[in-house]
Amino acid sequence: MASPDFPLPLVHLAQLLGEALGGPVAPSSVIDGAAVTLALRRHHVGPLLYAVATNGHHEIAPDLLLKLEWSYRASASRRETALARLRQIAEQFDSHAIEWMAIKGTTQAEQLYVDPAWRDSADIDILVPPDEFSRALDALIALGFTASNPPMPKPRIVRRLILNAVRDVTLIARDDHSCAVELHRRLFFAGGSAGPSLRSKIAPGSFPAPVVGPDLAFYLIAHGALSFWVRLKWLADLVPLFAKLSDGDRLAILEHARRARAESSVAASLLVLRELFPFVELGPLTRWLSEKQSEASVRRRFHLYAKMLSLDSDWKQSPLDNAFMALEANWLLFERPSTRAQIFASALPSSLARKIAGMLSRSDRALTRSDAPPEFS
């Protein structure tokens, strides 16, 4: 039985999505306008719901099916555009001997989903080594992108100070303002060596991407926790991911959590996953969760994630666009005192660097996507 912390429309939507993700067929029902709106506007899972709407198990009005089909086709189109951009970026980075990796989004969809277009993706996320951050930024600017969040003022000393203070830069394509690249020099705002190293193993494919394994799993769980799991889309990613993991891989996730002192957030995240997608095989993590679920810190996070998932609208109510909540999310994820001290020591310089950069280059700052998170970090 689903937890009363989750509203029934959300539970029903998760049941429907589970069909496309290898779970049981949801109870026969009508996919109504409320479910379609929840999928499209709130949780960004329209293309995945389209896969369910076309399998013949559930009734749906023609106009609603058309909306879902449009979301699927738009997702497929964005994917093709992203792949074309990635090919350009790969050629540019290779010509400059820049080590890089595509994370999340387009490459992840291909690794996890039967049809990659089922996974609605927006930005292109790229991870580079810290010492390649500046060169990678220059290479993207030369390719036709403009640094927007934060923008890059011309004085070199100011630019250097900004790049030393932030962990990522959002760039917008000058020929298509809907195309955004997020260039990262580290995975987390804090955490240091406690986090996974996605560069340790590269998956075979057209572009360098992390192999599907415990490192990627821990990162996606932590990423979801840092957003307070405000969108069902990110939780759905864990379903096909866990299906590809061995019991040894699942135990390795726990080791990552312990090393990063992030056990409470990881446990709460997996409890939410189990509530909404109960068919997911957690293997040896099941016993660990049964021990952790009674802890106050875990229950507190569980109810917070449930509350965020259940919001009618997440605008200005989640870490995605609320700097104070983003700070809180980092604090809750990493429980080691030294890491929390690092968060506080770095947050103010990073925030100031972004504000100063925005003041010096207002026109470039204006290109920032309206749904981009406010990186206090």
Distances (CA, A) of 363 to 2, 149, 168, 368: 48, 11, 19, 10
Residue 244 to residue 362: CA distance in whole angstroms: 46
> Residue 375 above 70 pLDDT?
no
Kindly state the tokens that stand for 347: 């947050």
Q: Which H helix or E strand runs over 173?
A: strand 168-173
Q: How confident is the model at residue 61 (pLDDT cuts 50, 70, 90)?
A: very high
* Largest Cα–Cα separation, the chain: 63
Q: Which residue has the tokens 């089922």?
A: 118
Distances (CA, A) of 222 to 5, 6, 91, 179, 287: 21, 21, 31, 25, 20
> Dihedral (C-alpha) 57, 60, 65, 71: value to the nearest 10 degrees?
-70
Neighbours of 354 (CB within 10 A): 23
pLDDT for residue 342? 85
Instruction: Select from 147, 148, 132 the least CA-distant residue to 94.
Output: 132
Between helices 232-243 and 8-20, what is the axis angle to 10°?
A: 40
Mind listing the pLDDT tens digit for each residue in 131-165?
A: 999 999 999 999 999 999 999 988 888 899 999 99
Distances (CA, A) of 72 to 10, 78, 116, 185, 343: 20, 10, 10, 32, 39
> Residue 365 above 90 pLDDT?
no
Handedness of CA 201, 205, 209, 211 (dihedral sign): negative
Instruction: Select from 333, 112, 101, 79 the least CA-distant residue to 237.
Output: 112
Mind listing the pLDDT tens digit for each residue in 184-206?
A: 998 886 655 445 566 657 777 78
Mind listing the pLDDT tens digit for each residue in 219-262?
A: 999 999 999 999 999 999 999 999 999 999 999 999 999 999 99
Q: Give alpha helix (H) positions in the chain.
A: 8-20, 33-37, 46-53, 62-95, 105-112, 133-143, 156-165, 214-226, 232-243, 247-260, 263-276, 285-292, 296-309, 323-333, 337-360, 362-365
Residue 184 to residue 170: CA distance in whole angstroms: 9
Q: How far apart are the first and last CA of the chain?
A: 39
- Rg of the chain on CA atoms, in Å: 20
Q: In terms of DSSP bridges, do strands 168-173 and 176-184 run parallel, antiparallel, or are they unpaired?
A: antiparallel
Mind listing the pLDDT tens digit for each residue in 307-347?
A: 999 999 988 888 988 888 998 999 999 998 988 888 888 88
Handedness of CA 51, 54, 60, 65 (dihedral sign): positive
pLDDT for residue 368? 58
Kindly state the tokens that stand for 111: 């690794």
At 171 the three-state DSSP class reads strand
pLDDT for residue 376? 37
